[in-house]
A = this chain, B = another copy of it.
Amino acid sequence: MSIVKTPARAPRARRSPEAARENILAAAERLLTEKGPQALKLTDVAAAAGIAHATVLHHFGSIADVQTALMERMIRQLVAQILAEGAVAADPQGRVGQGARVLFDAFGDRGAARLAAWLELTGESRRLTMAREAVREVIANRLAPEGVDPAVAEDMVLVSVILAMGVGLFGRSLSELMGRPPDTARGLALDLLRRLLPAEGA
């Protein structure tokens, strides 16, 4: 009669549903920023989260729902980051420069820019609805400079956001591609906005 020693097994972790979802989404976000959207496979996300893939399905229903939840989470984080910046400068020019820096910071960490690109490439209307609301909220609460013609202010915000996303997504690669330090593009773009936007408001 053989005596089989029960293999030592790590005790099964049991999280609250909220913690479990958070753990999964955090792992998914890591995968997204490190390997790109195509790496968000059910099995890979589960492995990155250290759980069985069935558990992922238990909490989200499908891998598509995981992706949607991740998008929404990242959009919320991005909005929060932009809105959480400190006191605002009094003069319009100061506000503009500050707003630009906030934008570049928000899209500076690779995740946010990649999120935007992912949204653009896949472009599903359901997800874009939330993005639209986020844009509205940020513009209304944080970026709209006072003392400037609203139409002009909108133009400034629009081009600033696009530049920030472009730098966030392509800045490092292109800088290095041209043999420059990785944050070269970021500095140049900030200079561009700092020097031009006040003139536009005048």
Which secondary structure dominates where chain A touches chain B? helix
User: In the bound complex, what is the Cα–Cα distance between A173 and B129 (angstroms)?
Assistant: 12
Q: Is A173 touching B120 in the complex (CB atoms < 8 A)?
A: yes
Q: Which residues of chain B are within 8 angstroms of A123 by Cβ–Cβ distance? A: 36, 173
Question: Does any Cβ of B come within 8 Å of A47's Cβ?
Answer: no
Question: Does any Cβ of B come within 8 Å of A23's Cβ?
Answer: no
Q: Is B132 touching A121 in the complex (CB atoms < 8 A)?
A: no
Question: Does any Cβ of B come within 8 Å of A161's Cβ?
Answer: yes
Pick the interface stretch among A1-9, A51-59, A93-101, A184-192: A184-192
**1/0 per position for A133-151, CB-CB distance to B under 8 A?**
0010001000000000000
Number of interface residues of A (CB under 8 A): 44
Min CB distance, A157 to chain B, in Å?
8
Q: Is B116 touching A118 in the complex (CB atoms < 8 A)?
A: no
Min CB distance, A74 to chain B, in Å?
14
Q: Is A118 touching B120 in the complex (CB atoms < 8 A)?
A: no
Q: A residues within 8 Å of B by Cβ?
A: 36-38, 114, 116-118, 120-123, 128, 131-132, 135, 139, 154-155, 157-159, 161-163, 165-167, 169-171, 173-175, 177-178, 180, 184-185, 188-189, 192, 195-196, 199
